[in-house]
Structure 1
Amino acid sequence: MIFNKTEIEGVYVIDINKIADERGFFGRSWCQKEMEEQGLNGNVVQSNTSFNKFKGTLRGMHYQVNPYEETKLVRCIRGAIFDVIIDLRQDSPTFKRWFGIELTEDNHRMLYVPEKFAHGFITLKDNSEVTYLVTQFYKPSAEGGIRWDDPEIGIDWPIEAEVVSDRDTMHPNFKNIILP
């Protein structure tokens, strides 16, 4: 695995170290030992899948509150997404800053999302499928959310959202959330 630091401390774009031949390639998309050698949380307890029928489907911006905060490793295995996170660490120099990256079935990239980040994405193609490895069991009562179009955060989505759940449209703007 190839760990690429981003401008936000603790956030990594991870590439598969591809061993290629005439058949294609082989590489690791997960290794607890390599994660821990980088100082990252490798205690995966759950794997989730999100299938999205239509281009322009937006999911987000979700987070879990203490003590159920989760680290995620996100990968698009079919189609393409623009994956976005928001730094919710109040003591961070990048507090309230967002980071986005295109994850596709062709680039095989992954985004490592530490605890205390909101996460969401928009699909760039029909029939996009996303997998997440997470370090906490999902606890519905611990979930929070921020509006995906909050002007204070100012996420620059590459396309317009066409499909957004009622739940996601009801998330408050950042100024109206209480962080633990």
Structure 2
Amino acid sequence: MSKKISEYVRTTSIPGVLIIERPLYRDFRGFFHEVFRLDELKKASGVEFNPVQWSHSMSLPGVIRAIHTEPWKKLIYPVAGTLFAPIVDARPDSPTFGKVETFVIDNTKDDSTQMAIFLPKGMGNSICVVGEEPVHYLYLIDEYWDDKKARGIAWDDPDLAIKWPIKNPIISERDKANPRLRDLFPEKFKSK
């Protein structure tokens, strides 16, 4: 369930996760694109986001980067390639804890807009490269990355039941060792 909260920002079924779709301005030279504006994000959602780190990840076809959950806000923007992006609510106090929403993002199309996703603290996000080309993925975070704070959830967690669009994915040993959501928050699964 999505609701437009400003000209370029809309909600998702998970509170706090926002989709930003801004127009491309094309001419004979190529295009210009404003990915997002801090003031627009704050006005539309009330969210304060002050990025301190900008990172670039490249993943080859067939790769799944497991469900990473960190205690910082994040804006993700795929700039090349096609990806399947599951977003998991891993916030134990959230009414939608354990909910998964998926997106297929192909910002290489000749569309009039491109998509970015804003994630509040504690969300899990993953990417799966589904096209023939590598995915280049830029993201801004509002705290410096710290390995001690970074966590993950098993990509094949049966409680999440993500329907991955590829078979035999390429996954790092670290991501293969991630625990299930119920292992991280056993108290949330006592009644299930």
**Same-fold call, TM cutoff 0.5:** yes
Letter in 2 for 1:11: V
2:58 to 51, 56, 60: 51
Matches within 5 A, 1:53-132: 53=60, 55-64=61-70, 69-106=71-108, 108-125=114-131, 126-132=133-139
Once the two structures are superposed, what CA deviation does each residue of 1:53-84 show, in whole Å capped at 9, x if it has no partner? 2x2100021112xxxx1111111111111112
Aligned equivalents of 2:51 and 2:168: distance in 1? 31
Aligned equivalents of 2:30 and 2:22: distance in 1? 13
> TM-score, normalised on structure 1?
0.88
Letter in 1 for 2:104: E
Answer whether contact 1:59 1:122 (CA < 8 A) is retained.
yes
**Alignment match, 2:182:** 175
> How far did residue 110 of structure 1 move?
0.9
Unaligned runs of 5+ in 1: none
Letter in 2 for 1:141: K
Cα distance change on mapping 1:96 and 1:59 into 2, 3 Å? same
Aligned equivalents of 1:19 and 1:164: distance in 2? 37
> How far did residue 25 of structure 1 move?
4.2
Q: What's the % identity of the aligned pairs?
A: 28
> How far did residue 12 of structure 1 move?
1.2
- Whether 1:143 and 2:150 are equivalent positions in the alignment is yes
**Alignment match, 2:4:** none
**Alignment match, 2:43:** 37
**Alignment match, 1:158:** 165
> How far did residue 161 of structure 1 move?
4.5
> How far did residue 9 of structure 1 move?
1.1
Letter in 1 for 2:86: V
Q: Which moved more, 1:128-137 or 1:170-179?
A: 170-179
Letter in 1 for 2:152: G
> How far did residue 118 of structure 1 move?
1.1
Cα distance change on mapping 1:112 and 1:161 into 2, 3 Å? farther
- What SS does the corresponding residue of 1:142 show, helix, strand or coil? coil
> TM-score, normalised on structure 2?
0.83
> How far did residue 120 of structure 1 move?
0.9
> How far did residue 88 of structure 1 move?
1.6
**Alignment match, 1:5:** 11
Answer whether contact 2:9 2:41 (CA < 8 A) is retained.
no
Aligned equivalents of 1:165 and 1:27: distance in 2? 33
Aligned residues: 174
Answer whether contact 2:69 2:90 (CA < 8 A) is retained.
no
